Amino acid sequence: MIKKAYLLSPGPTPVPPSVLAAAAEPIIHHRTEEFSGIFMEVTEGLKTIFGTREDVYILTASGTGAMEAAVANLCSPGDRVLTINAGKFGERWSRICRAYGVAARDIVLDWGKVLPKESLEAELEAVPDVKAVFATLSETSAGQVFDIKGFGEVVARTQAVLVVDGISGLGAAPCPMDEWNIDVLIAGSQKSLMIPPGLSFIAASPKAWAFIESSKCPKFYFDLKKARQSLASRTSPWSPAISLIVQQKKALEIILAPGLDKLIAHHHVLAEATRAGVRALGLELLAERPGDILTAVRTPSGIDGKTLVKTMQTKYLAYIAGAQDPHKGEFFRIAHLGYMGGFDVITALTALEMTLADLGFAIVPGTSIQAAEPILKENWS
Ligand SMILES: *Cc1c(COP(=O)(O)O)cnc(C)c1O
């Protein structure tokens, strides 16, 4: 057959054709009124995505760059912070904090679990002088979505700031920054925001800005005070990733024409259909509170999880994601994130069924489709 590949991973995600084409436009100079107009339009669009009145800064870096910027700009060496670690990305908060000499106390949970807000409240009472809580909206390594609204209620009553990695979740799960008392919120370009990897976005509340003013961690490229100064002149401190920003403008037009609520609702339908499909095959989900970003599915017993992912990728060119270390092979992840439609769910489920059959797992072809298709049909919009 013709080799047609299907990107079904939780980052990078597929990019709409008009957004791909925007990258091929001639480069314009970034110190011009024309570029400033584009830059400010993207900044404004991101404020809507973030649900904030604060400014959103555009960083030339993948999502991890904005995570690093959050730590370096808020903290000073020796500060006491909490990280919520129930997967690879929660763990990344801890590792970045340690790299900057910040005293992270990690609340470690099994992958896929969520932390009740009451437990966070108890931690905050038990540990004195916590300066920041580092949390994740959607833990992409395991598929769960945390109760960020609850965390916001709890943290707002303390002197600490709540920092949320919304890199995969923003745009696919509700997370209004101002309404939920989030102090620092982060997004990345290659997840629900429908452009290639390379940009990350960060906004900070007045409470966070007070910490930024007094932070003593070293920083230069990601200095948010410089970003704030430049934004006042409608630009960025360093050469911006011009083409990516032009692409982001196009993608935001696509996202914001129907509205953010529609995008979130769309992700919910795709997720419901995917979950119904895998359950119909008798498979189990990993996440305690599955998000609508991706579905992490436990590898059925008797099947080698790494072979499953490899077969889907190399034989069927269906690029789902495997589990990351130290859980390689134990589960796999099907994304329904960003520029994906209902038939992408069908593609993923069909490829999964065919792969399972290849590996000797007894299934009746079409079982997952019978469960998923009605959900897509009834909610098609
Ligand atoms: C993708 C992702 C990251 C890392 O982003 P990079 O763009 O790979 O640097 C961080 N956190 C979450 C939740 C993610 O999904």
For residue 296, report the distance from its CA to the centre of ligand 1, in Å.
Answer: 16
For residue 41, report the distance from its CA to the centre of ligand 1, in Å.
Answer: 24
Q: Which of 178, 226, 356 is nearest to 282 (CA)?
A: 356
**Ligand 1: nearest atom to the Cα of 62:** 7
Q: Tell me the best of 13, 64, 67, 163 to mutate to test the pocket of ligand 1, counting ligand atoms within 8 Å of each CB and taking the most.
A: 64
**pLDDT score, position 84:** 98
CATH class in words for 18-256: alpha beta
CATH class in words for 259-378: alpha beta
**pLDDT score, position 222:** 98
Q: Which of 378, 3, 19 is nearest to 196 (CA)?
A: 19
User: In Å, how far are 138, 145, 367 from 153, measured between CA atoms?
Assistant: 18, 17, 43
Token pair for residue 53? Answer: 């009145």
- Within the chain, all domains assigned CATH 3.40.640.10 are found at 18-256
**Ligand 1: nearest atom to the Cα of 136:** 13
- Residues touching ligand 1 (Cβ under 6 Å) are 11, 62-64, 89, 136, 138, 140, 165, 167-168, 188, 191, 197
Q: Tell me the best of 68, 89, 91, 244 to mutate to test the pocket of ligand 1, counting ligand atoms within 8 Å of each CB and taking the most.
A: 89
SS3 of the chain: the string is CCCCCEECCCCCCCCCHHHHHHCCCCCCCCCCHHHHHHHHHHHHHHHHHHCCCCCEEEEECCHHHHHHHHHHHHCCCCCEEEEEECCHHHHHHHHHHHHCCCEEEEEECCCCCCCCHHHHHHHHHHCCCEEEEEEECECCCCCEECCHHHHHHHHHCCCCEEEEECCCCECCECCCCCCCCCCEEEEECCCCCCCCCCEEEEEECHHHHHHHHHCCCCCCCCCHHHHHHHHHCCCCCCCCCHHHHHHHHHHHHHHHCCCHHHHHHHHHHHHHHHHHHHHHCCCCECCCCECCCEEEEECCCCCCHHHHHHHHHHCCCEECEECCCCCCCCEEEEECCCCCCHHHHHHHHHHHHHHHHHCCCCCCCCHHHHHHHHHHHHCCC
- Within the chain, all domains assigned CATH 3.90.1150.10 are found at 259-378
For residue 33, report the distance from its CA to the centre of ligand 1, in Å.
Answer: 32
Report the 10 Å Cβ neighbour count for 149. 15
For residue 286, report the distance from its CA to the centre of ligand 1, in Å.
Answer: 19
Q: Tell me the best of 140, 170, 192 to mutate to test the pocket of ligand 1, counting ligand atoms within 8 Å of each CB and taking the most.
A: 140
pTM > 0.85: yes
**pLDDT score, position 288:** 96
**Ligand 1: nearest atom to the Cα of 11:** 1
**pLDDT score, position 30:** 97
For residue 189, report the distance from its CA to the centre of ligand 1, in Å.
Answer: 10
For residue 200, report the distance from its CA to the centre of ligand 1, in Å.
Answer: 10
For residue 89, report the distance from its CA to the centre of ligand 1, in Å.
Answer: 7
For residue 192, report the distance from its CA to the centre of ligand 1, in Å.
Answer: 12
For residue 207, report the distance from its CA to the centre of ligand 1, in Å.
Answer: 25
Instruction: Tell the residue nearest (CA) to atom 2 of ligand 1.
Output: 167
**pLDDT score, position 360:** 96
Instruction: Tell the residue nearest (CA) to atom 5 of ligand 1.
Output: 63
Q: State yes or no: cis peptide before 365, omega within 30 of 0.
A: no
Determine the Cα–Cα distance for residues 377 and 329; give it in Å rounded to an integer.
33
Instruction: Tell the residue nearest (CA) to atom 15 of ligand 1.
Output: 168
**Ligand 1: nearest atom to the Cα of 89:** 11
For residue 167, report the distance from its CA to the centre of ligand 1, in Å.
Answer: 6
How do the pLDDT tens digits run along the chain, 381 residues long? 899 999 999 999 999 999 999 999 999 999 999 999 999 999 999 999 999 999 999 999 999 999 999 999 999 999 999 999 999 999 999 999 999 999 999 999 999 999 999 999 999 999 989 999 999 999 999 999 999 999 999 999 999 999 999 999 999 999 999 999 999 999 999 999 999 999 999 999 999 999 999 999 999 999 999 999 999 999 999 999 999 999 999 999 999 999 999 999 999 999 999 999 999 999 999 999 999 999 999 999 999 999 999 999 999 999 999 999 999 999 999 999 999 999 999 999 999 999 999 999 999 999 999 999 999 999 998
Determine the Cα–Cα distance for residues 61 and 202; give it in Å rounded to an integer.
11
Q: Tell me the best of 59, 71, 167 to mutate to test the pocket of ligand 1, counting ligand atoms within 8 Å of each CB and taking the most.
A: 167
Would strands 184-188 and 199-204 be described as parallel, antiparallel, or unpaired? antiparallel
